Amino acid sequence: MATRGLAVTQLLNPSTPQRKRFKALDLTRDQRIQVKALHQIGQLTYSEIHRRTGFSERQIQTACTRPATPQKAKVKRKGLIRTPQKQQLHDWFEESKAHKFTALYDLPNKVLSPLRSFGELALVRATLDLGYLSRIRPHNILRTPANERHRVVWS
């Protein structure tokens, strides 16, 4: 019975500590710069820096491999086709139902002449930005009275 109670307490309070997660932000900017200098200029290994500074090896590794200051997110490149041209493209799509069924790879050949100077990829991106989707067109059989008579005769 005594051993049973001991096993339960060991499960509830494990003797091995759980792994702590360290972030590079735990170190200040100046500390990250000093750690990087010790590693690059002082030619010290991570374990030597750990002994001298008391920082964890993971903090040291992160400070040495990442920039000392947080970086801004990279700005995505804007598309070549600007808003006035996109409006022309939108008007062209709305002009006729047949235009909406134009294949994306065929856009440079079919669109208005001011938009023909743009490449296929630029036109496709502008089309997607306008909210048009690329789908496989369903093949519907044209149902006319004459076609239905031919189908009945065939069957």
Is 77 inside any structural domain?
no
Mean pLDDT (whole number) for 72-94: 87
Q: Does residue 79 surpass a pLDDT of 90?
A: no
**One-letter identity of residue 141:** I
Is the same domain home to 55 and 87? no
State which residues form the domain around 40.
20-69
Is the same domain home to 25 and 63? yes
Radius of gyration of the chain (CA): 33
Mean pLDDT (whole number) for 82-99: 92
Count of domains for the chain: 2
Distance CA 61, CA 47 (A): 10
Is the same domain home to 61 and 93? no
Is 137 inside any structural domain?
no
The pLDDT of residue 19 is 52
Is 140 inside any structural domain?
no
Is 119 inside any structural domain?
yes
The pLDDT of residue 9 is 38
Distance CA 80, CA 89 (A): 13
Helix then strand then coil, in percent of the chain rounded to 5, is 60, 0, 40
Contact assessment for residue 94 and residue 84, using Cβ atoms and an 8 Å cutoff: no
What's the mean per-residue pLDDT of the chain?
A: 81
